Structure 1
Amino acid sequence: MTSQEGTVACSGIQKETSNCIYINQMLGQITDKWTLLVIRALRGGPLRFNVLRRELGTVSQKVLTGTLRSLEETGFVSRTVTPVAPVRVDYALTDFGREFLEPVETLSTWVVSNIARIEDARSRYAASQEQ
C-alpha cells in the first residue's frame, strides 16, 4: 500500500486519521527487509544474537541490531541479559509479538495463494506500459 492509498483508505473523521498514522507507521516497520524474517525466526523460541544472525543469513550486525531494537521498542521482542562470562543476550517474542504472528501468517497465506494472480497482473501491467 502506498502512503497515498493509506490516506484514501483512512480518510474521514479526525480520529480515523490519527489511527491511520499508527497503521502507516506499523506497516512501514513490518515491511522493511528484515522485520518479518526476525519475527518468524523467533517464533520457535528465544535465540542468541549470533544464532539469530546465522538463521537469517546475510544480515549485517548493524542492521540486525537496529531491527531488534525497533522490535523491542514496539513491544514485539524482549531482550534478556544473563550476566555470565561472556555475557549472554537472548531475544524472544513477547506475548504481543506472538499475537502479531496471527495476522502476519494470514497475510502470508493470502500472498502465497495469490502469487499467480499477482504475477499475472504485473505481466499485464508491464505489457501495457510497453505499448
Structure 2
Amino acid sequence: MTGPLPAPGLTGLFFGTVPPGVYRLPPTDTAARVMSLAAEADWRASTLRLGGVTDKAAFLDRCATDLDFPEWFGRNWDALADCLTDLSWWREEGKARGYLLLTEGWTDFRKAAPHDARTAEEILGDAVGHWADGESPLAVLLG
C-alpha cells in the first residue's frame, strides 16, 4: 500500500515526475527540508504531529488541531475522508500547485494502533486518488 518515495524523490513529487501517492518519508529527509522544498515548489503543506498518539480518537483530535480542520469535522473516519476530499478549508488566496500532508511519528502510531493506522492510511490513499488527476494533487509523506 505505502511504499518508498521513488527517484527522483521530493523534487520529482513536487514537479510532477513522481505521481502523487502515500509514501514513506526517506530517512535522509527532515520535516524542515520537506516543508522548504514544498514552499519553493508552490505546494501548500501541513504537518500532522503524531507523537504520543496511540488510538483513533487521539489521531482524529490531532488531525483537527494540527491541520486546522473546519468546525464541521465530526472526528470520525467518514469526516476525515470528507475533509481530505474537500480541501476548501486548506485553500488560501491564489492557486497551489499541490497539497502535501507530512506526518511525523507515523511508525510509532502504527505500532501503537495498527488497525487504526491501516484505516487512516486507506483514507489517505483514497484522498490522494481523488485529487490525482486534478490541477492541484494531494500527496502524503509518512514520517
Q: Which has the higher helix share?
A: 1
Which of 1 and 2 has higher RCO (CA within 8 Å, sep 6+)? 2
TM-score (norm 2): 0.23
Q: Which has the higher strand share?
A: 2
Q: Which has the larger radius of gyration?
A: 1
TM-score (norm 1): 0.25
